[in-house]
């Protein structure tokens, strides 16, 4: 340890600029790797999550990019007519989120109401920490059974009730907590697989036909955007598109998940491939720059190293010192990446951003840790290449010449 401290403080840190250069290069490598790995992991997670709708006869709604919603032209009887048609002709999975409501809770978070019907709930198979599954055959004017996120369970245990001013119905209602979702339960966007919202501070609200009929136009229209029609045909879907166009003036496309995957494979995964290739190229460039930096360091410190070798330092000990030094630099960079990630994750708690607040050490979730692990692995590879290059350079020059440099 004494030798390590001596070599680091009296030799490496004498040329601090080279050490700082290495830290910056590693930091770049780590940040690029972390960002790319997390994007890929999140996309893969989203891909896995949406597999449940990849079934024959399932079609997911998608507002045509050229069709613009003008809210004042959409009438409630128009959306109701669409829902009447859907209710009469189809089985469908309904989902709508983004409805914020103020509910007192220990963490003082704004609460997001997430509406879903029985089909959507069945397809998603939510995992519960406590309580029982969501019920959809409830009395509309009595307590409505809901599931809540883990963050709300401290304030509202199973069996407790929550009074809210419900904006969709436009009247106060009472919710009864029937179950608590597993921590960090989430929903991935169907068309942007790496985009997620987390349910830790959400209320999962059961929606049935009667509820939709009484809901305002916001929920009806919002729900239409992501509606999944089940067990149907292309022809029937085409008729539905016509009904929507006639009643709302909006052009809706319906794609099977297979078609969506084709789209994702064509455009989204292509982007991921570019990200991966760019990351690898950047990592190679950064590794080359790190080797160059290391060899310049050796050239400038060669005399110091070889004098130490002359008086008793062995190459094997020097190798351990190099790995130790590189390990410290990597640790500093990993800590920086950890702090940046924790700042982002924990920032959601500080900003009271209910849809992105996650549980974990400083809010870091599984994919963050996995990405950090892969960053550490890339550091080990870069470190081995750099350290072995340095040793090769030092061994190449005889001690007798090095001491007189």
- 397 lies in the binding site for other proteins (CB under 8 A): no
391 binds other proteins (CB under 8 A): no
Q: Cα separations (Å) of 233 from 30, 120, 241, 255?
A: 48, 19, 12, 11
Query: Binding of other proteins at residue 114 (CB under 8 A)?
Result: no
Part of the chain binding other proteins (CB under 8 A), chosen from 24-32, 250-258, 307-315, 330-338: 307-315
Q: Please identify, using beta-carbon distances, which residue of 304 and 333 lies nearer to other proteins.
A: 304
Stretch that binds other proteins, among 22-30, 130-138, 186-194, 392-400 (CB under 8 A): 392-400
Q: Which of 69, 274, 310, 361 binds other proteins (CB under 8 A)?
A: 310
Alpha-carbon distance of 345 to 366, in angstroms, equals 12
Closest distance of CB 18 from other proteins, Å: 14
CB of 328 to other proteins, least distance (A): 20
**Of residues 16-35, which lie at the interface with other proteins (CB under 8 A)?**
none
- Using rule CB under 8 A, residue 400 touches other proteins: yes
**Least distance (Å) from other proteins to the CB of residue 106?**
57
In the complex, least distance from residue 292 CB atom to other proteins, rounded to whole angstroms? 22
Count of alpha carbons within 13 Å of 206, Cβ hemisphere only?
22
Residue 271 binds other proteins (CB under 8 A): no
Count the neighbouring beta carbons within 10 Å of the beta carbon of residue 182.
Answer: 15
By the 8 A CB rule, do 310 and 403 touch? yes
Closest CA to 179 of 142, 123, 144, 134: 134
> Which position among 197, 313, 340, 376 is part of the footprint of other proteins (CB under 8 A)?
313
Residue 317 interacting with other proteins (CB under 8 A): yes
Q: Does 258 bind other proteins (CB under 8 A)?
A: no
- Residue 106 or 296 having the CB closest to other proteins: 296
Across the strands, what pairs with 113?
A: 99, 203
Pick between residue 69 and residue 296 the one whose CB is nearest to other proteins.
Answer: 296
Where in 346-385 is the site for other proteins (CB under 8 A)?
none
* DSSP result, 325-345: HHHHHHHHHHHHHHHHHHHHH
Nearer to other proteins, 278 or 314 (CB): 314
Q: Is 11 in the site for other proteins (CB under 8 A)?
A: yes
Distance CA 105, CA 101 (A): 12
For position 311 contacting other proteins by CB under 8 A, the verdict is yes
Closest distance to other proteins from the beta carbon of 307 (Å)? 6
β-pair partners for 198: 186
Report the C-alpha gap between 303 and 323 in whole angstroms: 20
Cα–Cα distance between 302 and 399 in angstroms, integer?
Answer: 9
10 binding other proteins? (CB under 8 A): yes
Residue 204 β-bridge partners: 114, 147
Three-point CA angle 238, 242, 243, nearest 5°: 115
Reported as type and span, the H/E element at residue 101 is: strand 95-101
Chosen residue from 309, 357, 365, 394 binding other proteins by CB under 8 A: 309
Nearest to 25 by CA among 275, 287, 277: 287
* Contact between 72 and other proteins per CB under 8 A: no
Assess contact for 382 and 333: CB atoms under 8 A.
no
Q: What is the DSSP letter of 110?
A: P
Q: Does 403 bind other proteins (CB under 8 A)?
A: yes
DSSP conformation letters of 154-211: TTS-TT-EEEEEETTTTEEEEEEEEEEEPTT-EEE-SSSTT-EEE-TTEEEEEE-HHH
**Interface with other proteins, residue 14, by CB under 8 A:** yes
Least Å distance, CB 19 to other proteins, is 14
Of the candidates 57, 303, 324, 397, which one interacts with other proteins according to CB under 8 A? 303
SS3 assignment, position 56:
coil
Counting contacts by CB under 8 A, is residue 392 touching other proteins? no
Q: Whole-number minimum distance, CB 302 to other proteins, in Å?
A: 11
Q: What SS3 state is found at 226?
A: coil
| Closer residue to other proteins, CB minimum distance, 266 or 396 | 396
Among 231, 314, 343, 352, interactor with other proteins by CB under 8 A: 314
Which residues here bind other proteins, judged by CB under 8 A? 2-3, 6, 10-11, 14, 303-304, 307-317, 398-400, 403-404
């Amino acid at each position: 340890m004494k030798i390590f401290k001596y070599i680091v403080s009296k030799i490496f840190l004498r040329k601090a600029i080279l050490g700082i250069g290495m830290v910056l290069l590693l930091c770049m490598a780590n940040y690029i790797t972390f960002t790319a790995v997390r994007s890929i992991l999140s996309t893969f997670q989203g891909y896995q999550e949406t597999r449940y709708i990849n079934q024959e006869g399932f079609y997911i709604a998608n507002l045509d990019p050229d069709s613009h919603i003008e809210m004042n032209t959409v009438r409630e009887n128009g959306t109701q007519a669409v829902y009447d048609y859907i209710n009469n002709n189809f089985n469908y999975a309904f989902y709508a989120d983004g409805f914020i409501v103020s509910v007192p809770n220990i963490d003082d978070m704004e609460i997001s109401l997430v509406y879903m019907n029985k089909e959507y709930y069945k397809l998603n198979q939510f995992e519960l920490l406590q309580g029982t599954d969501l019920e959809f055959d409830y009395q509309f004017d009595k307590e409505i059974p809901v599931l809540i996120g883990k963050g709300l369970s401290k304030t509202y245990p199973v069996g407790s009730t929550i009074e809210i001013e419900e904006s969709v119905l436009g009247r106060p209602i009472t919710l009864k907590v029937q179950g608590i979702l597993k921590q960090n339960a989430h929903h991935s966007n169907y068309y942007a697989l790496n985009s997620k919202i987390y349910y830790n501070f959400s209320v999962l609200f059961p929606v049935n036909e009667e509820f939709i009929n009484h809901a305002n136009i916001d929920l009806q229209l919002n729900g239409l955007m992501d509606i999944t029609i089940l067990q149907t045909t292309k022809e029937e879907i085409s008729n539905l598109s016509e009904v929507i166009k006639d009643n709302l003036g909006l052009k809706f496309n319906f794609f099977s998940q297979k078609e969506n995957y084709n789209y994702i494979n064509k455009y989204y995964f292509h982007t991921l491939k570019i990200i991966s290739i760019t990351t690898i190229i950047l990592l190679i460039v950064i590794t080359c720059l790190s080797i160059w930096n290391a060899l310049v360091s050796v050239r400038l410190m060669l005399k110091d190293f070889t004098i130490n070798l002359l008086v008793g330092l062995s190459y094997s000990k020097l190798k351990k010192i190099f790995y130790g030094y590189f390990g410290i630099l990597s640790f500093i960079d990993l800590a920086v990446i950890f702090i940046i990630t924790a700042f982002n994750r924990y920032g959601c708690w500080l900003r009271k951003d209910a849809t992105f607040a996650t549980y974990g050490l400083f809010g870091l979730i599984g994919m963050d840790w996995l990405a950090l692990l892969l960053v550490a692995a890339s550091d080990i590879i870069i470190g081995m290449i750099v350290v072995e290059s340095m040793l090769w350079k030092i061994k190449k020059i005889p001690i007798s010449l090095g001491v007189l440099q």
